[in-house]
Structure 1
Amino acid sequence: MSTPLTLKRDISPPPLRKGSTVQTTNGDKRRKSSLTDCSRRDDEQKNLSSAGPSLAAIEAGQVEIRNHLDYFTSHFKQVLRPATTARLDIDEFNQLYRRNRHVHGRHFVVHQHDHPVSGVHYDLRLQFSDSSTLSFAIPYGLPGNANSRRPTRMAIETRVHNLWNNLIESASHSTGSLLIWDTGEYEVLPWRQTDTRSTDDEHSDAAQRDGDKSSEQSHSERLAKSFQQRRIRLRLHGTRLPTNYTISMWLSSTNDRDCQPKKPKRKRRRIDPTKTANKFEIMTSSESESAEMQQVKQSLDPAVKNEQEEEQDAAAGVASDAEDEDASIRANNAYPGANNTIGSIHQRSWFLTLDKKNSGFERIRSGPDAGRRRGGWEPFFVRGRDHERSVVTGRSADEVMEDEGVDKFVGRKMWRPITG
């Protein structure tokens, strides 16, 4: 028997899972499969280029490679699109990851993820060790408007990821598209800061002492400490994000818990692309009109409340992505190869807001614009998969899917950007 294609490269086949149909006969392993499974494997085999396995196979843990950085940078050089927005050079992307590949590294990434079940959301991943990242799903992306009517958003804790997951741009029918919206290094600022206008000397001295102590720690150590205290002030030094971009995150006592959630009793229904491709095309005019009228009625009076409810629905979808994962992943809240030494709890909902003062904005105290913010930088808005592009390759979500050979993908609808 000839050597399998996957063993001719710097990779290894995945471990067998419970319930696998693999059998051993005369030292050869053969998998019982239907014609559908054979067709799927043929498609996956086509994705195995001379450079190595497909990105989706690596992300799913179906294959393992020893040098993720070299693999991804080599692949990205082949799929670059013309620069239309801020772009991080491939060599700088490479150097950024290399200089943070140690226990005190502070690498971060914001992924745009269009998942078939949970829909479009944005994943913020923060390195806290030499191998692992703390991960939050933010349904509507990072806030970019200091005068937004939606100053506070949700950030849902998800699984602890491997550090190399920060490098991924991929697409598949089971996971949707994933592109790098921004990446760089983070800085953890003290939660309490000295207010020069304050007359409370005791408070100022205490804040100063906190700052002195934190200055002796690395930013990854400060992140772990702030995470344990359930209050994080984070400055993100990225390529797309403006200078001094700072956010505050906190976990209220009502959302706090110290144990992992149990396995859900029911799984969310997954979308079958072959059955739902024409779903919206066959909607009758009366159904379309009633849906539009319902949206109008909802938007007339409690607009902000309805948007918050939409965010909660999206958060519920994000939180349920991994309902079918094995018991060890659920118990540890970490994917294989990552270590949850920071104590992350799955599905806890944090609050996240733009830190206006530390981002450079000041409050207007008089006049017709009293109470609003000025200064800082020009507002930006996260507009979703049809508009956003990778800060590394310049690709859109559709272009990532095209490059990875994903056809007829049906995503979750009704995602709307926050532009006010």
Structure 2
Amino acid sequence: MKRQRDHSTIENPFVKPENQSWEVTPPASLHRTVSPPPTNPRRRSRSAIQSIPAKSDTAAVEAGEIEIDDHVSFFSSKLLATTLPSVQGQPRLSHEEWLNLYQRNLHDRGHHFVVHQHDHPVAGTHYDLRLQCNATSSISFSIPFGLPGDPNSRKLNRIAIETRVHNLWNHLIETASYETGTMLLWDTGEYSVLPHSFDADPNADVATTDSDSDSPNYPESEPAKLHRAFQGRKIKIRLKGTRLPKDYTLSIRLTHENNALAQPKPPGFKRPRKVPPPTTLRREDTGESRQSSSQGSDPSRTSTHDRSSVSPVEDKRIPRLGRSVSSLLRTASPPMSSRNPPALTHEPASSASALAPELSTNVQPTNTDTDRSTSEVGKPNKSRDEEDQQIRKANAYPGATNTINSIHQRMWFLSIDREASGFRPTNRFEFGRRVWERPREKDSAAGDGLGGFPSFYVRGRDVETSVLTGRLAADVARDEGLVNYKPRGGWRPVTD
């Protein structure tokens, strides 16, 4: 529909000629048929969620939805099949050395460690340091910016937050899912606990292993040293990995302000409720209408339910949930298992079988429906809730044991132990701090003849590669079948 100019009127000289006429386009709703109705955007989002492909078998095993008997053979074949060719200058660990490293620590004196790069879709990129504390478990610290590598950095101290005690087979994982993001092996190796000048009381109650208590010829195991240093709230630990430099030593300490002794209580998730104005209150919410509708009833009962004297501000504190909000009441990970987990078909690679011929993979999908009580119809299943409560109470995932008394979400501080790492202080000061340097070693015939190590920086998911497979986080997501996965942004490396 086009409207022409009226030549009987005087044109405005300040209006452009092309703006003195216009066209009005009728809305599309006038041309749309009555049926079908327009698509509901909420239903469209639900259908999009349902179209997301199922988890990969490695992600399902990591989440506890599928149970397997031999984690070593299972993850070994998966990682061997996705290993990329070596690149010059890229730190790499051969598959044979990686298998030997893990298998020789499968006992109560094992001292295996791993640093995972975890790119979580909600928490963002962080690095998980896991230290073996017994034959089956490892304590875990979440480090938001990764391990420090510059002795003169202005951000030398890093936050290290205690998380759940993990199973030792979690040290083998490289996986990705829409719920947990991508995870790759940044470095792995063995650790040793160094003594401090003011250690904890040697006579303190430390859970020693059978080999330590029965035979005096055995030296103290590294897990026992870790336990004693952990109870003393100051850990001096040397990590012997592939990517980390020689003599790399960390100081992990807990301040008195963060020294919690008990597991935190479950968070109180409450959905905010808007209080309607007094004129729109429902009939059963007003005492007057309730009293008028219950004439002839017991006056004492009427006064008990009378809420006419309750103000809207006070009424807001009264919870009123019309339906279950179990997704808001979950207190622990791993995520909830699906009702029908995907069947897992696994064929170990021939090369992996040659490396570990004595190991066989027996995959058993966990049928969550069998966990529910079918004999008592109508009663809710509490097995999953009880498992989550047990995880929170013990701060350990199923199969792991918290023998070191790790407390969830307790904040530690982590930094380079510069003296133990081979650096020497100087008389120079920069940014108000003393400068440390690499001293010259007379007896060192290899390398550059200097102590310490060249500075390195952890640069995040777009740069850091797996020490075993050589993959980036994007490569892991692609191999695990994540389509259009968008990680959380805003993470910046510490390079000053």
TM-score, normalised by the number of residues in structure 1:
0.69
Determine the structure 1 residue equivalent to 2:458.
382
Question: Are residues 143 and 94 of structure 1, via their aligned partners in 2, closer, same or farther at CA, if it must alter by over 3 Å?
Answer: same
Aligned-pair distance for 1:371?
A: 2.4
Letter in structure 2 aligned against 1:410: K
Aligned-pair distance for 1:366?
A: 5.3
Determine the structure 2 residue equivalent to 1:276.
none
Instruction: Write out aligned runs for 1:22-171 (5 A).
Output: 39=51, 43-44=54-55, 47=56, 54-84=57-87, 85-171=90-176
* 1:406 and 2:482 matched: yes
Aligned-pair distance for 1:191?
A: 1.5
The runs of 4+ residues in structure 1 deviating greater than 4 Å are 34-40, 320-325, 366-370
- Give the counterpart of 2:394 among 326, 329, 332: 332
How many residues align structurally?
308
Kept after mapping to 2: 8 A contact 1:263/1:323:
no
* 1:249 and 2:252 matched: yes
Q: Which runs of no fewer than 5 residues in structure 1 stay unpaired?
A: 1-33, 48-53, 195-212, 269-319
CA distance in 2, matches of 1:131, 1:78: 26
- Give the counterpart of 1:353 among 397, 400, 415: 415
Aligned-pair distance for 1:177?
A: 0.1
**CA offsets, 1:294-342, max 9 Å, x none?**
xxxxxxxxxxxxxxxxxxxxxxxxxx98497821111110001101111
Please give the root-mean-square deviation of Cα atoms over the aligned residues, in Å.
Answer: 2.5
**CA offsets, 1:122-156, max 9 Å, x none?**
00000010100010000000000011001111000
Q: SS at 1:360's partner residue?
A: coil
Kept after mapping to 2: 8 A contact 1:171/1:404:
yes
Q: SS at 1:182's partner residue?
A: strand
* 1:172 and 2:177 matched: yes
Kept after mapping to 2: 8 A contact 1:361/1:374:
yes
Aligned-pair distance for 1:117?
A: 1.1
* 1:415 and 2:491 matched: yes
Q: SS at 2:258's partner residue?
A: coil
**CA offsets, 1:101-140, max 9 Å, x none?**
0011000000000011111000000001010001000000
Kept after mapping to 1: 8 A contact 2:429/2:435:
no
Kept after mapping to 2: 8 A contact 1:188/1:233:
yes
Kept after mapping to 1: 8 A contact 2:63/2:334:
no
Kept after mapping to 2: 8 A contact 1:118/1:321:
no
Structure with the higher fraction of residues in helix conformation: 1
* 1:260 and 2:260 matched: no
Aligned-pair distance for 1:411?
A: 2.1
Aligned-pair distance for 1:216?
A: 3.2
Aligned-pair distance for 1:67?
A: 1.1
Q: SS at 2:193's partner residue?
A: strand
Q: Which moved more, 1:108-117 or 1:404-413?
A: 404-413
* 1:226 and 2:229 matched: yes
Determine the structure 2 residue equivalent to 1:372.
435
Letter in structure 1 aligned against 2:492: R
Task: Give the fraction of aligned pairs with identical amino acids, expressed as a percent.
Answer: 49
CA distance in 2, matches of 1:144, 1:377: 9
Determine the structure 2 residue equivalent to 1:275.
none
Determine the structure 1 residue equivalent to 2:34.
none
Q: Which runs of no fewer than 5 residues in structure 2 stay unpaired?
A: 1-45, 200-215, 272-330, 336-384, 439-451
* 1:342 and 2:404 matched: yes
**CA offsets, 1:186-228, max 9 Å, x none?**
000002189xxxxxxxxxxxxxxxxxx9x93111110011101
Kept after mapping to 1: 8 A contact 2:248/2:421:
yes
